[in-house]
Amino acid sequence: MYMPPRWMAPLLFVPGILWEAALRARNHLFESGRLTARALPRPVISIGNMTLGGTGKTPLAIHIARLLVQLEATPVLLSRGYARHARHRCSIVPPSLPVAVPACELGDEPALVRKSVPEAWLGVAADRFEAGVRIAAKVPGAVFILDDGFQHRKLRRDLDLLILDATQPLEANRIFPRGSLREPVDGIRRCHAVLINCTGAGDAMMDEIVGRVHPRARVFHCQQRIETVVPYPEWIGGSAAPAPVRTPVFLVAAIGNPRRYERDVTALGFEIGGSRFYRDHFAPGIDDWRACWEEARSAGAQCLLTTEKDAVKIPADPGVPLMVAVQSTHVSENHAFREMIRRAATT
């Protein structure tokens, strides 16, 4: 999770104040109607958050895409494809289209959605409206999932979902670059529903903040946990069958909230023998994975353990003992959440 060191506070004060003013001015222009959002011809479900770093947007997008498949709709992920090679290309990817290196061509998050939900279409572009228009012309039953969409106000949405991680503070926080907030906390009032990613610590406080800031919001609670641990070759082949894991394990990840990953692995009962965490979206090469294994062996670890978001970026089998933690999302109010998605998909 991003948080600047204390010694930088005086240097970031003025930039932070100016950026917050710009955000408030932009939001006011949209709310007053002087800036307007463009509407796609099919329903749009937006998933976003209030803070920098991982709050669980991608696992939630996968969960919603699977719900849409069950509801006999066609899920379409609209994403900017962060860190992909061809950043300015508009990539329209139907389920049947082969992609040689998905993480490089599409970005790691769209590549993971594609692997997890083979029925989904992808629209990966800086201009997500353009991608959506092109896909809507091809897919009559499309339902769009706008990835990281809460601050992307140029596109109208039928359901605005906000996922909040109880381990990341809201009111005891500041706007970037002084803190990890993407915008002022009162921006929560724009959403239709909030999902609190429960951790057991701080959940009640998050409920209280949401209830006070946006009392009309529907509030759901979810848990995103590691369900199984699968050897990398089997995971690539599509298997989700669990396998025995020799501990201690050595964690390798390039995600927004590595401490939550560390906590989740510990909750499974695994002993952690060490870790190497890269910046979010970084794609370690084969040499990096082998260097991690050498470090792990020196620390007495028996294997490497990584996330699905990282595994999808590996260019080839690195030839080291590597396991993949397969995560899933469980919504406590499952029936009500499914019904909300169904209603949004049929608007």
- pLDDT tens-digit profile of 230-248? 999 999 988 878 888 878 9
Residue listed under structure tokens 């976003």: 48
0.85 exceeded by pTM? yes
Q: Is pLDDT above 80 for 133?
A: yes
Q: Whole-angstrom Cα distance, residue 23 to residue 86?
A: 28
CA 131 from centre of chain: 20
Asked if residue 211 lies in contact with residue 219, where contact means CB atoms within 8 angstroms, the answer is: yes
Closest CA to 274 of 256, 246, 296, 292: 296
**Sequence-distant (≥ 6) Cβ neighbours of residue 131 within 8 angstroms:** 78, 90, 91, 92, 123, 124, 125
With H, G, I as helix, E, B as strand and everything else as coil, classify residue 240.
Answer: coil
Q: 67-81: per-residue pLDDT in tens?
A: 999 999 999 999 998
Rg over CA atoms, the chain: 20
Amino acid at the residue 144: F
Asked if residue 47 lies in contact with residue 149, where contact means CB atoms within 8 angstroms, the answer is: yes
CATH code given to domain 6-223+330-345: 3.40.50.300
Instruction: DSSP for 162-189, please give it.
Output: EEEETTS-STT--BTTTSSBSS-GGGGG
Domain boundaries, the chain: 6-223+330-345, 225-328
List beta partners, residue 46: 146, 160
pLDDT band, very low/low/confident/very high, at 249 (cuts 50, 70, 90): very high
Q: Is pLDDT above 90 for 42?
A: yes
Question: What is the model's pLDDT at position 202?
Answer: 63
Question: What is the model's pLDDT at position 23?
Answer: 96
Asked if residue 26 lies in contact with residue 230, where contact means CB atoms within 8 angstroms, the answer is: no
Q: 140-191: per-residue pLDDT in tens?
A: 999 999 999 999 999 999 999 999 988 788 888 899 999 999 999 999 999 9
Q: Is pLDDT above 90 for 37?
A: yes
